[in-house]
Structures are given as structure tokens and as C-alpha cells.
Amino acid sequence: MADHPVDEKLPALKMATTGLQHVAAMYAGVVAPPLIVGAAIGLSASDLTFLTGACLFTAGLATFLQTLGIWKIGARLPFVNGVTFAGVAPMTAIVASTADPSDALPIIFGAVIVAGLLGFLAAGVFCKAIRFFPPVVTGTVITLIGISLLPVAFGWAQGPDPAAHDYGSATNLGLAGVTLLIVLLLRRFTTGFVKQIAVLLGLVAGTLLAIPFGATDFGPVADAAVVGFPTPFHFGAPQFQLAAIISMCVVMVVSMTESTADMLALGEIVDRPADERTIAAGLRADTLGSALSPLFNGFMCSAFAQNIGLVAMTKIRSRYVVAAGGGFLVLMGLCPMAASLIAVVPRPVLGGAGVVLFGSVAASGIQTLVRAGLDKDNNVLIVAVSLAVGIVPITAPEFYHAFPVTARIVLDSGISTGCVAAVLLNLVFNHLGRGGRDAQDVTHPMEAGEELTGAPARP
């Protein structure tokens, strides 16, 4: 029997180019957290480069764990893992509360290690959440993932620095638009392999077109070292402070919630639905990768939602392709000059490609919602309110400004809040009271819901 497309091993050249395309799609998301945290600490240029390379290296290791897997660790789905942006706010808060800036990173690393280990132990229990994710919930969450990522693409399209005079200029937006147009033309008028790497070709073409406008900076390549290894505990041995540990544990819960939603989304896209065992294995990869990451000076790792859009668009579902991307990330961590090549791609060019990638995720969510049965009033209400709750942090970023910082870690994540709202509303409308008994009104009954109402489990 032929292998499932997820387990397919492609020819070497195709594996390498499509893997590199995944790296290009997620590179900016991986390097942003270390750049922000490093700047808050006041690291030197060399230490900042070292921290960024370390995060690339550990992202590659975490991607290996997730795609290839060992024992009961790894979802074995085409997932790219990298530094979660959910940790940026609490990490900068830790930096601000640390008297000696040199202690900030060791304190952060200690907190991430503890949070990762606790998350690893809890993965087997946390995976039970799949029972509360019928299509009306997963479709809502997948749509929210795409919608939540689109502002990132719009930000990239305007430029790398909001304080710069050319931020949002016609040149930057024009480069983003041309890149988007190139990707669309390649997808429309080419076939086969060229069509599948349309995003990568669009990034290359956009970068070349940006040279006459001075938007392509080759300085990072000239200044980067050829070889560099993320020496363990380069910034000092980890320190363990209770407040920092609690804040990173909250981030871990948020990260595990988003990863669960991402695995369900990707399972739908690659036609290998994620069951409890898959989710538990995926969460173990996330959390173990996070626990090991500080050893090499990296931060908390999580699945990258933006790469789901690339899988949805290219239809290349092989996990080995993403593992090849993980190999590139490891090489970039070991060779700063190689890492700097991706950094050459102008942010507006990334933004143009991001519109296609992230929009594809939202479209996949809408497809799932169509199958969920929106002809039912209950489901319409679930989707309507959950989307509204999830979009709040996007449309009104300061909506929760009066809440404590710890609460905002969760509330400022539209994916997390929308996910929680969808699960709770689905229970209320489709499983408690009359909703749980009126089978004709329930699109996808869950065993959990029937247990709640005392009804016998369905075969």
C-alpha cells in the first residue's frame, strides 16, 4: 500500500527547495523574539547575533522532534517549530523587573526549562481537549489563525521599522504588491514543481526587484561569521525565580492551546486528522523542545501557524520536507552567514508572500466551517461570537489594557480566546440541556457532550 502523502519522501532537490520555502515563511517570526528581548536587555551586536542564531538552531532541533519524532514524542506531521511570540511580553517584563540585566536571560532560561518540563508531563492530560473540538470549533479556530496572522503580513508589507521615514511608503507597498502578483501569476500559469515553489520564487524575484530601490541590504552577509556554535549556557547558568516561572507556565498553557488548534488544523489540511495520541505526541515535542532550548540559549518553542498556509497552498504534505527545513535552521544556527542570506529578503517582500500564506489558512478554516453545518442556528451563533471574541485583540489591541499582565498573555491572543469561546459555546448550545438532547441540531456530537448529559456514548 502506498505511503500517505505525509510520509512521502520527495526527490532531494524538491525536498531542499520546498524545505527552504518553509524556512523563508517562518524566518521573521523566529528572529523577532530574540531581537526584541535582546534589545530590551541591551545586548551587544555580537551577543544579539549569537542569541538569534541560537534560536534558529533550537527551532531546527524542535522541528526534528515534531516531524521525525522519537518514541511517543512528535506529531509526525509537517510542522515547523520555532520561538513562540506569546512569550515576548512576559520575557520583556522579566527583563524590566531584573536589577542586573546580565541576570535576565539566565532567569528567563530557568523559567522556560521548568515550564517545558511541566508541560511535557501534562501533555497526556492536555490532549484530552480534542474531544471538545468538533468541526464547528476547529473551523472557527483555523479561520482565526489565518485572520490573526494577516496583520503580521500587513506589518511586514509596510517595512521593518515603524519609526522609519519610509514605513508604509508607496515603494514598500509596491514591492509587497508586486511580490504578491508574482506568486499569483506563478500559481495560475505554471504547473508541477514550479507551481509548488511559487512562494520561494516570488521571494527571490521580489528581493531582486528591491535592489534598485535600496530595500535589499546585503550588509548582514558581509558582517556574518562563517561558523558559529551556540555554546551551552553562553549567557550563564539558568536561574530559577518563582514569579518568572509562573509567568512562563502561563505562556506554556497558551502555547499548548494554540498548538492543539494548529495540529487539528493541519490534520484537516493533510487529510490525517489529529487524534488524542497525535496531539499528545505533538505537545510532548513542543514542550521537550522548549525545555531543551535554553541549554543552547534558545527560548520557548511552539508550532508555527504560518507554515500551515504554505502546506495548504502548495499541497505538499510530506513531513520530510519540513524536516529538511529543520535541517536548514540547524545549519543557519551553526553558520551565521547562511542565516543572514534569508535576512536579506526585504520585509515588504515577505509581506506580499504572507498575504497568500496566511489567507490560505483562513480559507481552509472556512472550508471546515462549511462542512460543519452552518444551516444550524446554534452553530451560526457559536461561530459568530467566537470569531468576534478572537478578533478583538486584532481590531482593538488595547481592549484589555486595564487587565493584569499575566491575564493579557491569554487575552491578547485572539487564537486562544476565540478557541476557549468556541469550546464553551459549543458545550452550552450543543451539549447541555436541550441542546445536548436534540441530536438533529448537533452537527458533530462529541462523546464528551453525551457524557455530560448522561446519555449513552454513540458507537
What's the mean pLDDT in 251-262? 80
pTM of structure: 0.67
Most confident of 53-67, 212-226, 256-270: 53-67
Q: Which residue has the higher pLDDT, 21 or 405?
A: 21
Selection from 302, 266, 270 nearest residue 284 by Cα? 302
pLDDT at site 375: 77
For 82-121, the pLDDT digits (tens) are 887 767 767 877 887 787 888 889 999 999 999 999 999 9
Contact 319, 253 (CB under 8 A): no
For 366-401, the pLDDT digits (tens) are 887 887 778 778 889 999 999 999 899 888 888 988
Residues 370, 375, 381, 387, Cα dihedral to 10°: 20
In this model, does residue 341 exceed pLDDT 70? no
Domain edges within the chain: 5-453
- Number of other CB atoms surrounding residue 342 within 10 Å: 22
pLDDT at site 127: 82
Cell 513562540: give the residue.
Answer: 84
By percentage, how much of the chain surpasses pLDDT 90? 20
In this model, does residue 207 exceed pLDDT 80? yes
In this model, does residue 458 exceed pLDDT 70? no
Sequence letter at residue 243? A
- Mean pLDDT over each residue of the chain, to the nearest integer: 81
How far apart (Å, rounded) are the C-alpha atoms in residues 61 and 72? Answer: 16
Sequence letter at residue 457? A
Look at residue 303 and give its three-state secondary structure.
Answer: strand
pLDDT at site 446: 40
Sequence letter at residue 445? P
Cell 499569483: give the residue.
Answer: 184
- Banded pLDDT at 306 (limits 50, 70, 90): low
How far apart (Å, rounded) are the C-alpha atoms in residues 42 and 443? Answer: 53
For 151-202, the pLDDT digits (tens) are 878 988 998 778 888 898 999 999 999 999 998 998 888 876 677 677 778 8
In this model, does residue 440 exceed pLDDT 70? no
- Strands 81-83, 301-303: pairing is antiparallel
